[in-house]
Structure 1
Amino acid sequence: MKQTKQFQAESKRLLDLMVNSIYTHKEIFLRELISNASDAIDKIYYAALSDDTVSFNQDDYYITITPDKESRTLKISDTGIGMTRQELEDNLGIIARSGSFAFKNENKLKDGYDIIGQFGVGFYSAFMVSDTVTVVSKALGSSEAYRWESSGADSYTIESCNKASVGTDIILKIRGNSADENYDEYLDEYRLKSIIKKYSDFIRYPIKMNFTKSRLKDGSESEYEEYKEEQTVNSMVPIWKKNKSELTDEDYDNFYSEKHFGFDKPIKHIHINAEGTVSYKSILFIPEKMPYDFYTREYEKGLELYSNGVLIMHRCPELLPDYFSFVKGIVDSEDLSLNISREMLQHDRQLNLIAKNIKNKIKNELEETLKNDRELYEEFYKSFGLQLKYGVYSDFGSNKEFLQSLLMFYSSKEKKMVTLDEYISRMPEEQKYIYYAAGESVERIEKMPQTELLLDKGYEILFFTDDVDEFAIKMITTYKDKEFKSVSSGDLGINREEGEDSSDAENAENKELFDFMKEMLSGRVTSVKASKILKNHPVCLSTEG
């Protein structure tokens, strides 16, 4: 029995976005559907690892692309795990069960390049090129198959159907050409091949297509006939097993997108081929933007872990320290057992050596970026500087020595972000401390009366605008033998000129007034006295330290 169901509100908005698309990168719909197909095959592989009743013969798993110009359909088929009726409704009727629409608005997304591939909405990119999308799926272990269909309006239909084998077919009814768009290209065999090679060449399952070719007819010397020949389009050679000299920045960017590491472009990639005590290959990516769910429970830290090209773990958190948890990528080592468990990984010596090496590689890459491409590093720091500061503060400051050279703070003198090394290099000889001021914003801090004397003396002040800043600095305590000192401290360690400081006399002269003020502010202040640091403001608060 066919049922018609309504999309949820966010799904309707996103479908409208896709159906009425003005995006310039419509071709990426194919990458998204192929990646989903690859994921579906991966799920059978995962199931085989833990379920003896599920077998995984890699030759049985592949993706097929079938264009049909006459019917204007494009079919993407996989031999993956398939979907039950409930999974079809959950996966295709609801968009990622989260605030994707709010995220899209907050980030003022310019085109589909910024949203497709995030939050599980890649499937919906099919509507950029299709009038109707049909999904026929049979789940592993199920005797039933189901057909899901939508024309991208408010609703979709779902019904039982026949399908002989486990897996999923996605059939797109390709739109007719318009004055602005040539949709015929998505039915052309060689155009489809070029898109697959561009975006999905490293998918580790065969992507098969039948290509039209011609040959001489039997017994003829001049008459040709057309025939179909199946080819595997993608190389399936993992990118991390290729030489760096063979790869371009675009290859790395495409791999990043194909693996759904993010839909931003990574600002840096690190390609490691390590041999020695432990041998491994790795490709790491430093993202441009923080994932929308980075500070939620749903965020999965870790790198994909392979043993000689075979996936062991989708996310291995032991490979990354928390302060570098934004890094994405893969690690492949022949030295790891395929049968290793998550519990064993935590105590595996080889894995610990790999993790230590990766940690150092990431830091070195960030330091190189700071040194050679300051603007790019500052962009990175806007997204992930907070995480580095949490890293300094956490674990009782055990990582402070490792991370402190990467920290940046806004400078009163430079009017921009500076490192601690840069601050130290400009300190006058008589300056005893690294001074900082904490507040809600740069603008608020600049108006603080406690900064007057220091600025008047030409001393630089670091502005702390994140809640974690003071906690992190208290963990560091000193940097290159210079102690940190808050501008709110009662003693700023400034040698004032003779006669300039008359606060002791003023304290004695106004003792009754100050005692009265202290009594009126009982419980809020420990003392009231003449200030050594004020110039133009009448009063300020300070700490005893």
Structure 2
Amino acid sequence: MAEQVMQESETREFQAEAKQLLRLMVHSIYSDKDVFLRELLSNASDALDKLRLESLVDKDLDVDTTDLHIQLERDPAARTLTVRDNGIGMSREDVVGLIGTIARSGTAELLEKLKSAKEAQEAKQTQGSELIGQFGVGFYSAFMVADKVTVVTRKAGESTGTRWESEGESTYTVADVPDAPQGTAVTLHLKPVDTDDGMHDYTDTGVLRRIVTRYSDFLAWPIRMEVERVKPAEDEDGESTTVRETETLNSMKALWARPRSEVTDAEYHEFYKHISHDWADPLETIRLQAEGTFEYQALLFLPSRAPFDLFTRDAKRGVQLYVKRVFIMDDCEELMPEYLRFVKGVVDAQDLSLNVSREILQQDRQIRAMQRRLAKKVLSTVSGLLNSDEQADRDKYRTFWSQFGTCVKEGLVTDPDNRSDILAIASFDSTHSAEQQTTLAEYVERMPDDQEHIYYLTGRSREMVEKSPHMEAFTSKGVEVLILTDQIDEMWVESGAEFQGKTFRSIAKGEVDLDSGDDAADESVKEEFAGLLEWLRGALSDHVKDVRLSSRLTTSPACIVGDEGDMSPELVRIYKQMGQPLPDIKRILEINPEHALVTGLREAHAKNADDPSLADIAHLLYGTTLLAEGEELPDPHRFAQLLAGRLADGLH
């Protein structure tokens, strides 16, 4: 690159997080140094996409778009490689914000993940390079192969450019460049060749041609490079001559427009990595061609792992939108429902306006129809993996559900039209197996003929659910119960969902009838405990709405249950955390008439109903029941005092 006249130069320090990131990336993370070129070419391609779109939207923008391209410039003597584009370019503020710092939320979490990846790599458990791309910091990979990186850029429509330069250590310099060409040129001052360390000669035409063909052949813009060719002599006595000519290195064919038979899996995988900035191959590739009154093509990908920001509120989501091969926008949220926000890919519509905006998309009937069809296509693809005869496909399904199942279950609340399809591909923990999840179809197949409901219990962990007193009768009778531990489970089970005509029934609500047998004996027990129940209702009236005998307990003295239709305590907590305060809901205390504590309490009450110590025992029974459920005590101090008093009495 020719020297530029600079002014207003300043030196700045990297943010502390950027320093750590650079150090990790250069020395620890990447295993294949060649991928730096893919990242720089992808950035250049994005800049060209944005310029073409801006020129279509802003007719007053004075730019030449007749020959948009990317140029690779080599200087073997100086050991430099420049990746140049004539795209949208960057302002000085853009340069400082996008390159000089890592201006994004979650940087600290990113660093922790990278450090963990490094430690695991050192333990030979994983490859750290599998993590880096998903965080969108590919520009920094240039420092793997360069001792110094120089960026000269000018934003379209502005008169002054910017020069950014750093050796990737602690500081970088920024300066104005009056005569910079429009676009961006990234010059790498290359490290010495060291093939043992994966450092190839990136000024060699063969090396560059190989990398472009492997990683960036599908880019829509020409990637050009000046090469030398030997021209044979025109006659026998003449001498051959060396000529310089420009070669286009990539085919520029849009993968979604090519017949499936003409595209290899490797090409699909590289395209996915280009649009997603993920280093891992996708789990599954999905193609869709819609014809008729509204035509579009879609090329979608299911990732093989969840991004770190999957549940971050401000994370970007959506697929890329093109109109007749013209790039319109990244992260088009309107084309994919939020519960499928992890899906990556491209949708190319034939009938939309190039001037389309996000506001227009939100109201467009055709866009909503596209979203419905794309969502159904994704769900049917997952169903195909689940129900495949091939073990490899079923393994893919298990990987998918372990990574994205919690996210997909959000659709049970937000997308009632697809609820049955989502339930059909969902898997859940269950008392049937501690090692493997079950689908609802498998659960129903195992149900006895006379079982009317799909039983479930929600909780904060599998361990807590399995130890819940509500499970006792179901465990003793071998009745299978779904174990639901995701927060979203608390919401969708309340939405009236059904599966194959079976309703979902919480074993912590209502009355449970697991065929107790002798009705006459049951009535006799009720009469025997009638006085105690009535007294407990009065003693605990501030805390419970009713006290009754339980048919769901075998070893615990009592449990707390809700009425049919009541919100669970966990759901109440969730709504309160969301800023929606709800009144406390009184629940029902069920007591086990066969437990020694309960029978002893009945006998003591029958002897002296006015004994004040009985009220203390009643409150201790209620408190221990709450603790067994993982609930908070209404008055922990009083509970502790009562317990200490009873323990002291027992020592005399």
TM-score (norm 2): 0.78
2:462 equivalent in structure 1: 442
Structure 2: 5+ residue runs without aligned partners?
Answer: 1-7, 122-126, 565-652
1:249 equivalent in structure 2: 265
Change (3 A) 1:313 1:170: closer
Q: Say whether residues 1:411 and 2:430 are aligned partners.
A: yes
Report the more deviating stretch, 293-302 or 124-133: 293-302
1:9 equivalent in structure 2: 16
Partner of 1:204, secondary structure, is coil
Report if aligned partners of 2:194, 2:200 keep a CA contact under 8 Å in 1.
no
Displacement after TM superposition at 1:94 (Å): 0.7
1:267 equivalent in structure 2: 283
Aligned equivalents of 1:225, 1:15: Cα separation in 2: 45
1:85 equivalent in structure 2: 92
Aligned equivalents of 2:108, 2:246: Cα separation in 1: 41
Displacement after TM superposition at 1:348 (Å): 4.3
Pairing partner for 1:509 from 528, 534, 539: 528
1:321 equivalent in structure 2: 337
Q: Say whether residues 1:30 and 2:37 are aligned partners.
A: yes
Report if aligned partners of 1:202, 1:234 keep a CA contact under 8 Å in 2.
yes
Aligned equivalents of 1:184, 1:431: Cα separation in 2: 67
Aligned equivalents of 1:22, 1:533: Cα separation in 2: 54
Aligned ranges 1:208-223 → 2 under 5 Å: 208-216=224-232, 221=237, 223=239
Report if aligned partners of 1:400, 1:476 keep a CA contact under 8 Å in 2.
no
Change (3 A) 1:336 1:473: same
Partner of 1:299, secondary structure, is coil
Report if aligned partners of 1:385, 1:407 keep a CA contact under 8 Å in 2.
yes
2:591 equivalent in structure 1: none
Aligned equivalents of 2:472, 2:226: Cα separation in 1: 76
Report the more deviating stretch, 199-208 or 254-263: 254-263
Displacement after TM superposition at 1:101 (Å): 4.2
Pairing partner for 2:559 from 522, 540, 545: 540
Q: Which amino acid aligns with 1:322?
A: E
Pairing partner for 2:74 from 42, 57, 67: 67
Aligned equivalents of 2:9, 2:353: Cα separation in 1: 48
Displacement after TM superposition at 1:55 (Å): 5.3
Aligned equivalents of 1:325, 1:255: Cα separation in 2: 19
Count the aligned residue pairs. Answer: 543
2:504 equivalent in structure 1: 484
Q: Say whether residues 1:525 and 2:535 are aligned partners.
A: no
Q: Say whether residues 1:102 and 2:109 are aligned partners.
A: yes
Report if aligned partners of 1:307, 1:332 keep a CA contact under 8 Å in 2.
yes
User: Which protein is richer in helix relative to its size?
Assistant: 2
Q: Alpha carbon RMSD of aligned pairs, Å? A: 2.4
Change (3 A) 1:142 1:483: closer
Change (3 A) 1:356 1:512: closer
Aligned equivalents of 1:259, 1:410: Cα separation in 2: 34
- Identity, in percent, stands at 38
Q: Say whether residues 1:376 and 2:383 are aligned partners.
A: no
Pairing partner for 1:200 from 216, 220, 231: 216
Structure 1: 5+ residue runs without aligned partners?
Answer: none
TM-score (norm 1): 0.93
Report if aligned partners of 2:133, 2:277 keep a CA contact under 8 Å in 1.
no
Aligned equivalents of 1:526, 1:86: Cα separation in 2: 63
Displacement after TM superposition at 1:127 (Å): 0.5
Report if aligned partners of 2:134, 2:277 keep a CA contact under 8 Å in 1.
no
Aligned equivalents of 2:464, 2:169: Cα separation in 1: 50
Q: Which amino acid aligns with 2:471?
A: T
Aligned equivalents of 1:89, 1:340: Cα separation in 2: 30
Change (3 A) 1:449 1:297: closer
Report if aligned partners of 2:10, 2:175 keep a CA contact under 8 Å in 1.
yes
Displacement after TM superposition at 1:22 (Å): 6.0
Aligned equivalents of 1:37, 1:177: Cα separation in 2: 25
Query: Which whole-Å deviations, capped at 9, do the CAs of 1:146-166 have from their partners, x for residues lacking one?
Result: 221111111112223354421
Q: Which amino acid aligns with 1:226?
A: T
Partner of 1:497, secondary structure, is coil
Report if aligned partners of 2:159, 2:178 keep a CA contact under 8 Å in 1.
no
1:302 equivalent in structure 2: 318
Query: Which whole-Å deviations, capped at 9, do the CAs of 1:302-348 have from their partners, x for residues lacking one?
Result: 32222221123334333222332322211123233434454544454
